[in-house]
Amino acid sequence: MLDVMKSHTTVRRYTDESISDDVFHELIAAAQHAASSNFVQAYSVIQVKDEEKKEQLGELSRNAFQFSTAALSLIFCADLQRANQAVEKHGEKMVEGNLENFTVATVDTALFGQNFALAAESKGYGVCYIGGVRNNPQEISELFELPEHVIPLFGMTVGVPVKTNEVKPRLPVEAIVHEDSYDSEKYEAQLEAYDKVTRAYYKKRTNNRKDFTWSETMREFLSVEKRPHLQEFVQSKGYLKK
């Protein structure tokens, strides 16, 4: 399992080999054993089989090639609709707009999704997380008839990889672990060293070579506001206070 975890790479090209529903459900059943806050199990998965819907999903998420060529096209949803009905079964109402409920739903879904990815990779499949479903969450919700309290959090494609990509070098363990108190002063030297490692990786990897570093990637990603429409959409689904 440790080898599987350390060999993860994003897969964007798959063979035409299919994955049966039996295998898919086996992977889902394994993923369900992820930890869940208060055992809410605040997640659902949409398996997209309809070719027309798959095409629309690809366009809305700006990942048409991924969804059109993968053996499994999935949408992982943060979901409190089921729990809400459980509350109503006992004559009560779920509190809406609560940040903790939103956190529970998103964390539960992320843990479930990662468990699913590990289960798939343990069987030799490759996966690709697709955050692009958050580009047009309202339209995707309408396309798949997602009710209140259900948010399309991320997509995932699964299949047999055409080839295995090189593993990206992660941050050193020392950058992640802090003993007894948080130490941000160590980052200057660590980032300088890690930038050299990532630049060498990007320049030598097989596909999409570039002269870039991790800190430059962070500058590009975090210095511009991303998906400003998300907050209003999340609030419209009954999460977070307006």
DSSP class per residue in 197-231: HHHHHHHHSSSS-----HHHHHHHHHSS---TTHH
* pLDDT the model gives residue 165: 86
Q: Which amino acid is at 30?
A: A
Assess whether 23 and 122 both reside in one domain.
yes
Q: Report pLDDT for 242.
A: 78
pLDDT of residue 207: 81
Residue 230 pLDDT: 96
Does residue 188 lie in a domain region? Answer: yes
Query: Do residues 88 and 179 both lie within one domain?
Result: no
Digitized pLDDT (tens) for each residue of the chain, 242 residues in all: 999 999 999 998 999 999 999 999 999 999 999 999 999 999 999 999 999 999 999 999 999 999 999 999 999 999 999 999 999 999 999 999 999 999 999 999 999 999 999 999 999 999 999 999 999 999 999 999 999 999 999 999 999 999 888 999 999 999 999 999 999 999 999 999 999 999 999 999 888 889 999 999 999 999 999 999 999 999 999 999 87
Give residue 208's pLDDT. 82
106 within some domain: yes
Same domain, 22 and 94: yes
CATH number reported for the structural domain that contains residue 139 in this entry: 3.40.109.10
* 46 and 160 both lie in a single domain: yes
Report H helices in the chain. Answer: 2-6, 21-31, 51-61, 64-69, 81-88, 99-122, 137-143, 173-176, 187-204, 214-222, 230-236
Kindly report the number of other CB atoms within 10 A of residue 62's CB atom: 12
Q: What kind and span of H or E run contains 142?
A: helix 137-143
In this structure, the chain runs to a length of 242
Has residue 220 been placed in a domain? no
- For residue 213, being part of any structural domain is answered with no
Q: What per-residue confidence (pLDDT) applies to 183?
A: 97
Strand 72-79 versus strand 126-130 pairing type? unpaired
How open is the CA angle 131-240-114, to the nearest 5 degrees?
A: 35
Tell me the residue range of the domain where 195 lies.
173-204
Question: Please, which residues bridge with residue 77 across strands?
Answer: 44, 152
> What type of residue sits at position 184?
S
The answer to whether position 216 is within a domain reads no
Global pTM reads 0.95
Count of the separate structural domains present in the chain: 2
232 shares a domain with 196:
no
What pLDDT, on the 0 to 100 scale, is given for residue 177? Answer: 98
**Domain contains 210:** no
